[in-house]
Amino acid sequence: MSGANDSRSSGQTPWTKQREGYTVAAVTDERSFAALRGEWDDLLERSSENRPFSTWTWVTCWWEHHRRGKRLFILTIRDGKGRLAGLVRNVCNNDPKVDH
């Protein structure tokens, strides 16, 4: 897909998969996370799951509060035109002592 490695992809991990016209990429750094704000808000406005706990602002506040010992890991799903079509929010725990 053209555009898979454009400026939106900068800061994303090299992990990118394309399937049936959609591209999935991982965002693992805070700069790329911050750059998603406008697209995230636009996606949420188009979604039936438009809930306060799904907003970029809420997730950012949660991340700021709970980030210690964790790694950011957000999957972005883009359609064939490069438009954000979905998100999967994840956090990876870096502490081997914590089992959750």
Helices 37-46, 56-66: inter-axial angle, 10-degree rounding: 130
Q: Taking 50 as the threshold, does the pLDDT of residue 2 lie above it?
A: no
pLDDT in tens, 63-80: 898 888 888 889 999 999
Per-domain boundaries in the chain? 7-93
Q: What is the pLDDT of residue 98?
A: 54
The bridge status of strand 70-78 relative to strand 22-27 is: antiparallel
Note every long-range contact of 58-64, with CB atoms under 8 Å and residues 24 or more positions apart, other chains counting: 59/89, 60/33, 60/34, 63/33, 63/91
Is the pLDDT higher at 81 or at 92? Answer: 81
